Amino acid sequence: MSETRIDVLVAGGGVVGAALALALARARIDVALVETRAPPAFDAADVDLRVFAVSPASAALLSRIGAWPRIQALRVSPYRRMRVWERGATDELAFDAGLVGAAELGHIVEDRALRAGLWAALDAEPGVRRACPARVVRCEAGASDARVELDDGTRWRPRLVVAADGAHSPLRDGAGVDLESMPYGERAVVAHVRTERPHEATAWQRFTPAGPLAFLPLADGRVSVVWSLKDARATAVLAMDDDAFTAALTAASDARLGRVLATTPRAAFPLRMQLARRYAAPRLALVGDAAHTVHPLAGQGLNLGLLDAAALAEVLSDAAGARADLGAPAVLARYEHWRRGDVARAAHAFGLLDGLFRSDFGPLPFLRRAGMGLVQRIGPLKREFALHASGFAGRVPVLARRLG
Ligand SMILES: Cc1cc2nc3c(=O)[nH]c(=O)nc-3n(C[C@H](O)[C@H](O)[C@H](O)COP(=O)(O)OP(=O)(O)OC[C@H]3O[C@@H](n4cnc5c(N)ncnc54)[C@H](O)[C@@H]3O)c2cc1C
């Protein structure tokens, strides 16, 4: 059977892989995208339980690759403020979009809307060759390219393969890349709920002793709940009837939005920090959940993955401009050096924060409140926090920089 020569083959057409394929096509790099499942259809009548807080940097990237207007046309919910507290109003942190000179701090977007918008953008982009549904079943690195085989029997010879195939990445494991892995012993319980008072386009987060609880504003006026709980407590919360669950949420949220009145069925996701020890192997680069999974308390998992995609697209575009081999070790080392340290620092910080806010050991409660009070009062420190959450701190890839 014949083999197709190509610059880059992206394995995995989730949000990160699809965004990367579009970015590479715009840089005139010959790219193929392989995805096992056709993207789920967007359902205007039903709000997907899986939602993300999409940062302004991620929205800038999605705009530049032609996907954001399509996603906005489906459904997004902008939030302009964020309020974080532990107990009572005295130890509250409040961020406003004006702090980072933006109209909003981010958007709450459903997974289905992101995927549908990205795949509509792919329909309009002839530069991406697509194989879907198809699965990468074999990948071998050679001296000048890789040999890839799909389950439909087709064969490809890309200079570089990108593993965007999720947290259980078969490509990463096949290349023998080790993981630093730490289960948190927690699950995130998610549901959409209706509250007595409006959400005020605000993302609410309370650090409860049982775990962080987020109320994220939805376009239909409800809020999306993400409650990270130790396994035993998560099991108990999942077993509650709706009245007990809404009452538990009212108490855990300090009734900031009044009583929780109604809920959808609940779902739960196991949480684990997982960091690949290398982001590159011969003829292979890792992006998104294949490279890292982090605690959801900062809502940054997908945003970090989209920044990987923007950084890798920039490194490969520079290499193509210099007529370099896109899978050369020096090219991949540049990408790994850019992203791995940043992501590892963020992942460890999220894990530390989670542990810090669960413990009532010794002076910790006092230190937490003092720390929050300090950040709230010191303008530049607060701005720095908000810049990190927006994705505009540190070395930002060109595709993810502020628009306009
Ligand atoms: C409860 C919870 C809440 C979260 N909230 C947020 C949030 O608010 N903000 C945020 O930024 N992140 C959040 N995250 C993290 C976010 O879900 C992930 O980081 C993101 O979905 C990862 O995207 P991805 O494209 O890397 O991987 P995936 O979405 O897993 O996509 C991988 C794709 O690869 C395909 N695939 C697998 N194997 C193959 C193969 N061999 N060949 C071809 N295709 C293959 C799969 O079909 C899949 O479509 C949250 C996570 C959880 C658990």
pLDDT category at 345 given cuts 50, 70, 90 is confident
Q: How far apart are the CA of 14 and the centre of ligand 1, in A?
A: 6
Res 58: pLDDT:
97
Per-residue pLDDT, averaged over 225-243, amounts to 96
- Paired residues of 262 in beta bridges: 194
Nearest to 268 by CA among 236, 238, 292, 291: 238
Tell whether ligand 1 has an atom less than 6 A from the beta carbon of residue 191.
no
Tell whether ligand 1 has an atom less than 6 A from the beta carbon of residue 247.
no
Helix (H, G, I), strand (E, B) or coil at 281: strand
Among 165, 294, 390, name the best residue to mutate to test ligand 1's pocket (greatest count of ligand atoms within 8 A of Cβ). 165
Contact 296, 271 (CB under 8 A): yes
Tell whether ligand 1 has an atom less than 6 A from the beta carbon of residue 106.
no
Tell whether ligand 1 has an atom less than 6 A from the beta carbon of residue 81.
no
User: Alpha helices, DSSP H only, in 226-288?
Assistant: 231-239, 242-252
From the alpha carbon of 11, which atom of ligand 1 is closest? 43
Contact 195, 261 (CB under 8 A): yes
Distances in whole angstroms, Cα of residue 354 to Cα of each of 40, 46, 209, 291, 296: 32, 31, 10, 21, 10
Contact 52, 302 (CB under 8 A): yes
Q: Whose CA is nearest to atom 48 of ligand 1?
A: 14
From the alpha carbon of 150, which atom of ligand 1 is closest? 42
Query: pLDDT, tens digit, for every residue of 34-49?
Result: 999 988 889 999 999 9
Given a cut of 80, is residue 353 above it in pLDDT?
Answer: no
Res 100: pLDDT:
79
Q: Whose CA is nearest to atom 49 of ligand 1?
A: 14
Q: How far apart are the CA of 5 and the centre of ligand 1, in A?
A: 28
Domains of the chain and any CATH numbers: 3-78+109-180+273-400 (3.50.50.60), 185-271 (3.30.9.10)
C-alpha 356/C-alpha 352 separation (Å) is 6
Distances in whole angstroms, Cα of residue 154 to Cα of each of 4, 37, 149, 157, 164: 8, 17, 6, 11, 19
Q: How far apart are the CA of 204 and the centre of ligand 1, in A?
A: 24
C-alpha 191/C-alpha 266 separation (Å) is 5
Given a cut of 60, is residue 89 above it in pLDDT?
Answer: no
Per-residue pLDDT, averaged over 185-198, amounts to 96
Tell whether ligand 1 has an atom less than 6 A from the beta carbon of residue 9.
no
Per-residue pLDDT, averaged over 150-171, amounts to 98
Look over the chain and give the mean of its residue pLDDT values, rounded to a whole number: 92
Per-residue pLDDT, averaged over 82-101, amounts to 80
C-alpha 322/C-alpha 314 separation (Å) is 12
Per-residue pLDDT, averaged over 164-182, amounts to 96
Given a cut of 60, is residue 337 above it in pLDDT?
Answer: yes
pLDDT category at 361 given cuts 50, 70, 90 is low
Per the document, the length of the chain is 404
Res 213: pLDDT:
95
Given a cut of 90, is residue 63 above it in pLDDT?
Answer: yes
Res 20: pLDDT:
98
C-alpha 144/C-alpha 354 separation (Å) is 45
Q: Whose CA is nearest to atom 11 of ligand 1?
A: 302
More confident residue, 255 or 210: 255
Per-residue pLDDT, averaged over 208-232, amounts to 94
- Paired residues of 150 in beta bridges: 136
Among 218, 225, 289, 307, name the best residue to mutate to test ligand 1's pocket (greatest count of ligand atoms within 8 A of Cβ). 289
Res 349: pLDDT:
77
Res 2: pLDDT:
86
Tell whether ligand 1 has an atom less than 6 A from the beta carbon of residue 172.
no
Q: How far apart are the CA of 170 and the centre of ligand 1, in A?
A: 14
Q: How far apart are the CA of 171 and the centre of ligand 1, in A?
A: 15
> Parallel, antiparallel, or unpaired: how do β-strands 211-217 and 202-208 relate?
antiparallel
